[in-house]
Amino acid sequence: MGTAGETGKLGEASKVPGATGIAENVAAVRARLDAAGGSGITLVAVTKTHGWDAVEAAFAAGCDAVGENYVQEMVEKFAGRVPAGPVHMIGAIQSNKVRHAARLVSLWQTVDRSSVVDEISRRAADGGCADLLIQVNTTAEQSKSGCTPQEIDVLRGRAEAAGLSVRGLMTLGPTDGDTGATEAAFRRLRSLCDSHGLAVCSMGMSGDFEMAAACGSTMVRVGTAIFGARPPRAD
């Protein structure tokens, strides 16, 4: 078993806590979620740029899933290995990379355009993952990925017509971290999930997961609060 940070194109060895430290951090995150009214929220540990040991430690500590951002890194990290739980794709999805990740992931969290839906459908026909979330830009920031709220029905219809399962919606808070804007973005996604009858509401990261929980998140994506500062990613 390799040490954390050894995998593929990862940067310098991750300075992650040991398994005990990770378990303590996960317990602390769970306690903070509970205090914010988020008991039972799905906790996705963000393992991008961290090695295989971090994946194992996250599942051993009771995380519900791990999240990866980069297809090449994920493919190298999981080569010949079977994770103890689900792996989610939480980074921007390029259509030409879907085929490499389709059999590794259990949930595509960042689907925001028809070309990605079509490619996921093609790979699902060969046994790839068919479950997805639609990423919605709830802040109207040009720098943010995600479809507009008005495009949800079109993407959902296209996905379901292709035999895919749209389980919910996903969003990112504002880049500047403004508290009021973050709360507004999260409440909007919660409202959209409710109005579209979708169960999964994925919102909240290390800096804002408590607010997300208070706004009705059902799934948070947490990295730094579990593993500490992220190591640089090698090019």
* pLDDT tens column, 205-226: 999 999 999 999 999 999 999 9
CB 9 within 8 A of CB 76: yes
Per-residue pLDDT at 142: 86
Homologous superfamily (CATH) for 19-227: Alanine racemase (3.20.20.10)
Give the pLDDT of residue 234.
Answer: 59
Q: Are 115 and 95 in contact (CB under 8 A)?
A: yes
Q: Percent of the chain at pLDDT above 90?
A: 85
Q: What is the pLDDT of residue 6?
A: 34
Q: What is the pLDDT of residues 36-71, one digit of tens each?
A: 998 899 999 999 999 999 999 999 999 999 999 999
Measured distance CA(165)–CA(167) in Å, rounded: 6
pLDDT of residue 177: 82
Express each pLDDT in 132-175 by its tens digit: 999 999 999 888 899 999 999 999 999 999 999 999 999 999 98
pTM: 0.91
Confidence bin at 11 (pLDDT 50/70/90):
very low
Residue 206 corresponds to which tokens in the numbers above? 């290390």
Q: What are the extents of the domains in the chain?
A: 19-227
Cα 141 from chain centre? 20
* Position 93 confidence tier, pLDDT thresholds 50, 70, 90: very high
